[in-house]
Amino acid sequence: MRGTTGTASGRSRLSAGIHALFNLPFSALIRAWPMMLLTVLLTVVALPAGIMIAPALTGPDDSVAPAAVPTWQLVPEQLSVPQAAGPLSNSAPVPVPAAVAAKLDPVLRTDGGGTFTGVVQDAVTGKVLFDRGGSASRIPASNMKLLTAVAALRAIGPETRFSTKAVAGPGAGKTRAVVLVGGGDVLLGASESIEDKVLGHAGLATLARLTVASLRKDGLTGPVQVLVDDALFTGPSLNPAWSPDDVAAGEMAPLFPLALNSARFDPALTTGPRPQDSALTAGEAFAAQLKAVGAAAGLNVLAGVGRSEGKPAADAAVLGEVQSATVSQQVDLMLQTSDNYLAETLGRMAAAAVGQPASNEGAKAAVLKQLTDLGIPTDGMAVADVSGLALANQVSARQFAEVVRAITSGKDTRLRAALAGFPVAGLTGTLDDRYIDESTEEGAGLVRAKTGTLNAVIALSGYVVDADGRLLVFSFIGNGLTPGAAGNKPALDASATVLAACGCR
C-alpha cells in the first residue's frame, strides 16, 4: 500500500495533537493554546498536501485498477450503415427551384469539353426542382445498374437465393458422374460456405463435403467424374455491344450461371484478367475439393472436368446443395462495387424468373418491362446491356431520377432493399475516396449515389436529405468530356454537396 503511507501518518499526527490538546490542565491549556492552535493548523494544511505529494514520491497505487474507458469514447470497429432513409417529415419545406438553380449552376460545369445534364426532384411529390437538359438521352455508364437493380428486385424478389447443386449423373461402366449444376450464383467461394458474407456465402468445399456424404451413403466405391451443367444461360456468352478491349482488360468476361468470386481468379483482386470459362473454372475447384474430402472415404475423383451433354434427368438424385446470399444482398454488392459481371448475371436471372430466355436479349427485355410496369417512361431509352459497359446505352437524367425516386419512396416496397447499396460519400463503395476536399467534404456521409465512369462519360444518381429535412433525388450525367480532366468528378460531387447543404427557400 505504498501510495497511502503519507496520508496515514498525517492522519495519525492530527489525531495525536487533538488528543493531547483536550487532556491538558486548564491553566496549561491557556498557556499552550497559541502553540497548539498553530500545530493543528499546520497539520490540517499539511494533510492534503501529503495526499497530493505522496503518490509522486512513492509511485502509483498498484492495487487500484485504472478506470475503464467508456464504450462511447472508443473508436468504432466499423461504420453503421443505415438500411433505409430515416423517418422524414413531409411538412419540411420543399426547395424553391430558382434557389436550387442558383446554387447548382455555378458548380455543375465541365472541365474542358462536353456537357452536363441534370435533374433534381422532391422525392415525395415528384416536383422538379432543377432541370438542365434532363430529358436528353445520354450514355449513362454504370448508372445502368440502377435499372438492373430494380428489375432484379421486382422480377426475382429481394429474399430469393440461387442454388448450386451436385446431382448424380449417368455412369459409364464403373465410373459415376457427379454433375455441378449452375443456378445463377456467380459469387461462389472455393472454401467452406461463409454465411455472413455475400461473396463466398456458398462454398464449394461445403458442397463437396455434402456430396461425399451422399456418395458414401449410397455405397459408391468406383471412380467419380465431375461434369458441369451451365445450360441455364443461353445465347452468346459475350454481348456484341462490348468492346473487345474492355473484355481483354477484365472489365467483363463470358457469362455463365456459376462462377467463383464473380469471375475473378482472386476475390481480393477486382482488376485484371478474368477466367474466360468461369463454369469450368468452378468445376475444377469443386473437383479439387471433392478429391480432398473424398480421399478418406476411398473415392477416386478422376482428373479433368467436362460439360454434361444435355440437362440431368428431372429425377436425378441431389447429392448436395448450397445457396447464395439473397438477391437484395447481391444487389447491394453490385451497386457498392459496380460489378459488371454480377449486374449482367442478375439481368439474366431476372429474365429467367419471368419465363424468358436467360440471355443478353432476355436481360435487356426484362429491364425494360420492369421499368414499364413500374410506370417509369422508357421513351427514348436504349438498352444495349444491363451493366453500363456498352456505349450504345441511352438513358436520360430524368429517367434515372424517377428510378431513384421509385427506390426511395415509390409504392413498390421491394425496391427499398436497394437503398443500402448506394455508396455513401467519402465512406463506402465507389465513393469511398471522394468528397475529401473543401468543395465537397460537407457532403461526406450525407450524399448516397451510384457512380458511373467511362472514358468520356461520368454520372452520379442518388438521394440526399437537405438542410431542411427534405428528401431529394438527383441525377447528373456528363457526356463528351475531356478524358482524364481532373475537375469533372469534383463538379458532380460538389453539385450533390450543394443539395445536402441546401435550405433553398
CATH number at residue 216: 3.50.80.20
Give the whole-angstrom CA distance, residue 281 versus residue 437. 43
**Does residue 175 sit in the same domain as residue 152?**
no
- Cα separation, 126 vs 131, in Å, equals 13
Q: Mark whether 107 and 219 lie in a shared domain.
A: no
CA angle 361, 186, 320 (to 5 degrees): 120
Looking at the structure, do residues 137 and 180 belong to the same domain, yes or no?
Answer: no
**Count of domains in the chain?**
3
Name the DSSP letter for residue 381: -
**pLDDT exceeds cutoff 50 at 46:** no
177 and 270 housed in the same domain? yes
Tell whether 243 and 218 lie within a shared domain: yes
> Mean pLDDT over residues 427-431, rounded?
97
Contact 491, 107 (CB under 8 A): yes
Q: pLDDT tens digits for 213-259? A: 999 887 776 789 999 999 999 999 999 999 999 999 999 999 999 99
Other beta carbons within 10 Å of 314: 5
pLDDT of residue 79: 55
90 part of a folded domain:
no
Of the candidates 254, 227, 250, 244, the residue with the CA atom closest to the CA atom of residue 359: 254
CA distance 439 to 447: 14
Mean pLDDT of the chain: 86
362 and 490 in a single domain? The answer is: yes
CA–CA gap between residue 152 and residue 68 (Å, rounded): 49
Domain that holds residue 47: 2-58
Q: What is the pLDDT of residues 303-324, one digit of tens each?
A: 999 999 877 767 789 999 999 9
pLDDT tens digits along 118-149: 999 999 999 999 999 999 999 999 999 999 99
- The answer to the question of residue 73 being in a domain is no
* Beta pairing class for 300-307 and 137-138: unpaired
| 224 falls within a domain | yes
What cell does 450 get? 451510384
Residue 183 phi/psi, 5-degree rounding, is -120, 15
- Tell me, yes or no, whether 152 and 274 share the same domain: no
**pLDDT of 286 higher than 60:** yes
CATH number of the domain at 397, please: 3.40.710.10
Amino acid in position 153: L
Q: What are phi and psi of 387, to 5 degrees?
A: -110, -25
Would 81 be classed as within a structural domain? no
In a domain, 69, yes or no: no
400 in a structural domain: yes
Q: Quick check: is 235 in a domain?
A: yes
Label residue 87 by pLDDT band (50, 70, 90).
low
**Cell for 28?**
496549561
Query: What pLDDT, in 10s, does the model give residues 395-424?
Result: 999 999 999 999 999 999 999 999 999 999
Residue 67 confidence (pLDDT): 55
What are the catalytic residues?
142, 145, 338
pLDDT of residue 68: 62
Tens of pLDDT, residue by residue over 459-498, are: 999 999 999 999 999 999 999 999 999 999 999 999 999 9
- For the record, the C-alpha cell of 415 comes out as 425496391
Q: Which three cell numbers stand for residue 219?
A: 455405397
Position 254 scores a pLDDT of 98
Helix (H, G, I), strand (E, B) or coil at 451: strand
Encode pLDDT of 173-204 as tens digits.
577 899 999 999 999 999 999 999 999 999 99
In terms of C-beta density within 10 A (0-12 exposed, 13-18 middle, 19 or more buried), how is residue 217 classed?
exposed
Looking at the structure, do residues 366 and 448 belong to the same domain, yes or no?
yes
Instruction: Count the Cβ atoms, other than its own, within 10 Å of residue 333.
Output: 20
Alpha helices in 142-193 (DSSP H): 144-155
Residue 451 to residue 461: CA distance in whole angstroms: 7
Kindly state whether residues 420 and 321 are assigned to the same domain. Answer: no
* Rounded distance between C-alpha atoms, residue 159 and residue 328, angstroms: 6
User: Would you state the pLDDT for residue 64?
Assistant: 47
Q: What is the pLDDT of residue 44?
A: 38
Q: Are residues 130 and 197 in the same domain?
A: no
Q: Are residues 177 and 316 in the same domain?
A: yes
The CA distances from residue 468 to 264, 496, 502, 503, in Å, are: 45, 15, 8, 6
Backbone angles phi, psi at 286, to 5 degrees: -65, -40
Do 117 and 212 share a structural domain?
Answer: no
Q: Which three cell numbers stand for residue 210?
A: 455434402
Q: Is residue 342 part of a domain?
A: no
Q: How many whole angstroms separate alpha carbon 159 and alpha carbon 417?
A: 9
Q: 76 pLDDT band (50/70/90 cuts)?
A: low
pLDDT at 34 over 70: no
pLDDT of residue 172: 58
